[in-house]
Amino acid sequence: MTDAPESASPDELMTVNAARALAGARTCFVGIGLPSAAANLARRTIRPDLVLIYESGAVGAKPARLPLSIGDGELAETADAVVSVPEMFNYWLQAGRIDVGFLGAAQIDRYANINTTTVGRGPDRPASRLPGAGGAPEIAAGCGEVLIVLRHSTRNFVDRLHFVTSVGHGTGRGDRERLGLRGRGPVAVITDLGVLRPDPETAEFVLTELHPGVTAEQARAATGWPLRTAAHVGTTAPPTAAELTALRALTNA
Amino acid sequence: MIRRGAKARAGDVADIRPLPEAVADLVRDGDTVAMEGFTHLIPFAAAHEVIRQGVTDLTLARMTPDVIYDQLIGAGLVKKLIFSWGGNPGVGSLHRFRDAVENGWPRPLELDEHSHAGMANRYVAGASGLPFAVLRGYRGTDLACGSGTISTVTCPFTGEELAAVAALNPDVTVIHAQQADRDGNVLMWGLTGVQKEAVLAAGRVLVTVEEIVDELVPRPGGVVLPGWAVTAVAEVPGGAHPSYAAGYSVRDNDYYQAWDPISRDRERFTAWLRRNVLDREGAATR
């Protein structure tokens, strides 16, 4: 058998730990891609009654396999309610009814601000055009808290964003309140190397956990700002056989 | 009597017409056109008819440009895009959109860029006959910088500063739905996105449907558009492909994945467009 815990890939470590971060959530606004995989895994493992909300209008979707898009038919067919897009953003998200927003990113900075709009490639080439904002700016602003899942590299974890698409903690602690953003903002960035969380005083993201076998030096080398480490850096629990089996069933379905 | 593109009046019913004739009449050079449908019910067949007729200098509005606008942009018919998320859902980039923005090919593309919440509220304002909509949004982001359609407004009751977005009123909105009856009353169900707002915000409305039925049967969560709020209806079975129509078809995810390599290369795209759209009548298939 290949589903022994020690055989987990870096991506699987990231997704399993992202799913675990939903242990206390009741409702989750789910971005497509890595966040969707993690949220669906949580519903199959630690949080069976997690309400998955997709911006296409599905509230309480229960897909049997991972959807390719946020509007796959199965999301609506299995939902508790299907609502229009204006209703989704105004009544459900903006009004503060959703506990956790789960986002991916192209770039983040040390305060977990997100860029999904455009990335410069130097003076001789046009900036690389990315898809843009989607639902993320208001998800990041209005959900009770925000989780970000992202592969760890200096390409993604940058000293300075080329464009602020969605606000994490702005320029530091107190900025969200100053901007009138109602949710608590990002509380964890889960990567394929470990977990970063905001410093309680400055809101700068610091390394708090590493996956088994990963060193702090590896995490620092993959971060585009001088990554600080918490006083005590923990190790994430290895994925259980049950977690890996559920994840592989999801992604291979 | 055939009404020539006039906005429907109360008491009128929508004209049921062949798609080429309806597109020729309702979609005009220089128009602001919204083709909506959030992943579901995207009006691909109507867009392909627009490409075949070469209707050009369009300003296209759509929350998620998707492959449908990648094709229109690559065909060189689009001067401006109003949008909030320009990707191939679950796959990656829209390469024709990127080529237009990054390299101006086949022509430069002006952008008016929003978040989903902002775009949805722009249609709500347009449908409501208001000049703008209010929302909590954009605070602290770079999206508001340089956009002529995002501003702020102070609440007259609490003094709170909120985001304001300009109403979006397309010249013509094009959508796909499951059914219409013979009076042009339209029924759609499943994920219905922002279509009702996009329809009611528009000056002219074209709806393609999977089938025309004798009687519409109410559905849970169904949205009905009265025939007098619609200008023209065309029966186009499969007209949402590679998107889908709940109850009739499933999303063709393989098409969306196959689009990535086709759209990466200008020559390959151009050959695809000729073979699958320009030299063909009706909905394009792979």
In B, minimum Cα distance to A130 occurs at: B93
User: How many Å lie between the alpha carbon of A168 and the closest alpha carbon of chain B?
Assistant: 9
A134 touching B (Cβ < 8 Å) = yes
Give the CATH fold of the B15-127+167-278 domain. Glutaconate Coenzyme A-transferase (3.40.1080)
How far apart CA A187 and CA A197 sit, in angstroms, is 6
pLDDT in tens, B114-145: 999 999 999 999 999 999 999 999 999 999 98
How far apart CA A147 and CA A11 sit, in angstroms, is 16
End-to-end CA distance of chain A: 18
Interface test with A, best of B95, B141, B153 (most A CBs within 10 A): B141
When divided into structural domains, chain A yields a total of 1
Strand partners, A128: A119
Name the DSSP class of B231.
S
How far apart CA B75 and CA B13 sit, in angstroms, is 34
pLDDT at position A253, please?
Answer: 67
The tens place of each residue's pLDDT in chain A, 253 residues long, gives 444 445 899 999 999 999 999 999 999 999 878 899 999 999 999 999 999 999 999 999 999 888 888 788 889 999 999 999 999 999 999 999 999 999 999 999 999 999 999 999 999 999 999 999 999 999 999 999 999 999 999 999 999 999 999 999 999 999 999 999 999 999 999 999 999 999 999 999 999 999 999 999 999 999 999 999 999 999 999 999 999 999 999 988 6
Catalytic residue among A55, A138, A204, A209: A55
pLDDT in tens, B191-225: 999 999 999 999 999 999 999 999 999 998 899 99
pLDDT at position B282, please?
Answer: 56
Nearest to B39 among A71, A133, A181 (CB): A71
Single-letter amino acid, residue B177: A
Task: Determine the structural domain holding residue A182 and report its residue range.
Answer: 5-252
Interface test with B, best of A36, A65, A77, A89 (most B CBs within 10 A): A89
In A, minimum Cα distance to B257 occurs at: A68
Report if pTM > 0.90: yes
Are B137 and B115 spatial neighbours (Cβ–Cβ below 8 Å)?
Answer: yes
Residues of chain B contacting residue A132, judged by C-beta atoms under 8 Å apart: 83-87, 113
Are B212 and B181 spatial neighbours (Cβ–Cβ below 8 Å)?
Answer: yes
Residues of chain B contacting residue A32, judged by C-beta atoms under 8 Å apart: 89-90
User: What ipTM describes this predicted complex?
Assistant: 0.94
pLDDT in tens, B64-107: 999 999 999 999 999 999 999 999 998 999 999 999 999 999 99
Are B168 and B130 spatial neighbours (Cβ–Cβ below 8 Å)?
Answer: no
Are B181 and B226 spatial neighbours (Cβ–Cβ below 8 Å)?
Answer: no
